[in-house]
Structures are given as structure tokens and as C-alpha cells.
Amino acid sequence: MDGSTDLASMRNDLATATAALDRITRGVAALARRDKARGLVLDEHTYSVSHAGRSVRLGNWLAYRLLTCLTRRLGWYTELSGFKAVWGDPPEPAAVHAAVCRLRKTLRKTGLKQLATAIEAGRGCAYRINPEKL
């Protein structure tokens, strides 16, 4: 092996190690987001949500299912097709928007303002729970 081959090999090894480190860093960040949201608890028997020491009964199957859908991929946007689990069919954007507005209003009125604020809108008809705001 000559010097140029060794250098090329070392560059390749460095690139591979850098990519692996990037994947690890992203994984740790994802775990940190999940850890921060651990205080968020959904109870399917009572359709209630608990966070930051407060528990609220949503009293509404749709609101509970919507919140469950948003927590499945915490931090990631759920687009219109992802709400099929809530409505059974791909819903109309206006229906999703109205349901999110009602959910936020309910959460604010019942003392879970921080959770209401964590529900963010994205492009089109996409929503997420931002774990940084929990």
C-alpha cells in the first residue's frame, strides 16, 4: 500500500465513523424527547390525559383518539392520511383543524395549557406535539 491508499482508507473510515456518530446523536436526541414527554399519560378507559400533575377527563372519544394519534410519533408531524386512525377514513382538513382547535381549547380550560401550547400546526393539514414545549 502506498501513502495515497492509506490516506483514502483513513478518510473513508473517518466518514463512516462520522456517519455513525451522527446516527447515535440523533437517537440520543429522540430518546431525550421521549423522556421529556414521559409525564404525559393517556388513560383509554376514562378518556383522560394526565400531565404535570394534572389529570383531565376529555369526555370525548374523538379528542382522546386525536391526542393518542399525536402522541404516537411524538415530535413528528402527523399529516392528513395519518389521522385515518382517528376518523376511520381520511378526514377533511377542516374536520381535523376543528377537532384540534376544540382539543386545545379543552386542554387550556382544564389547566393543561402547556400541553395545549405543545400542539403545533405544520404545513397543510399536519400537527404534532412538540416535546420541547412539554
CA angle, corner 30, sides to 28 and 34, nearest 5? 115
Is the same domain home to 54 and 79?
A: yes
Q: Structural domain tally of the chain?
A: 2
CA 120 to the chain's CA centroid: 10
Higher pLDDT, 58 or 27: 58
Domain that holds residue 2: 1-39
pTM of structure: 0.72
**For residue range 1-34, what is the model confidence (pLDDT) as tens digits?**
566 678 888 888 888 888 877 777 666 555 544 5
Please say whether the beta carbons of 30 and 23 come within 8 A.
Answer: no
Where residue 38 falls (left for φ over 0; alpha for ψ -120 to 50; beta otherwise) is: alpha
Q: Is the domain of 54 the same as that of 2?
A: no
